[in-house]
Amino acid sequence: MRVLLVDDDPDRAAVVRDSLCQMGAEIAAQIGLAADLRAAIARTTPDLIVVDLDCPYRDYLEDLMQINRENPRPIAMFVGEEDRALMAQGVQAGVSVYAVDGLSPKLVRSVMETVLGHFHRFRQLNEELEKSRTALSDRKQVDRAKGLLMTHRGLSEDEAYRYLRKLAMDQNKRLAEIAETVIAMADLLKR
**Lowest-pLDDT range of 57-61, 100-104, 130-134:** 100-104
Look at 35 and 99; give whichever has higher pLDDT.
35
Q: d(Cα 35, Cα 117) in Å, to the nearest integer?
A: 28
pTM tops 0.85:
no
Question: Is residue 10's pLDDT more than 90?
Answer: no
Quick one: pLDDT at residue 181? 94
Quick one: pLDDT at residue 154? 93
Question: Is residue 111's pLDDT more than 70?
Answer: yes
User: pLDDT of 75-84, one tens digit each?
Assistant: 888 877 777 7
Question: Is residue 100's pLDDT more than 80?
Answer: no
Question: Is residue 167's pLDDT more than 90?
Answer: yes
Look at 165 and 84; give whichever has higher pLDDT.
165
User: pLDDT of 40-55, one tens digit each?
Assistant: 999 999 988 888 877 6
Size (the chain), residues:
191
The helix/strand/coil state of 98 is strand
Question: Is residue 101's pLDDT more than 70?
Answer: no
- Write the secondary structure of 36-89 as one string of H (helix), E (strand) and C (coil): CHHHHHHHHCCCEEEEEECCCCHHHHHHHHHHHHHCCCCEEEEECCCCHHHHHH
Question: Is residue 59's pLDDT more than 80?
Answer: no
Q: d(Cα 137, Cα 144) in Å, to the nearest integer?
A: 11
Share of the chain above pLDDT 90, in %: 37
Quick one: pLDDT at residue 102? 62
Q: d(Cα 78, Cα 133) in Å, to the nearest integer?
A: 36
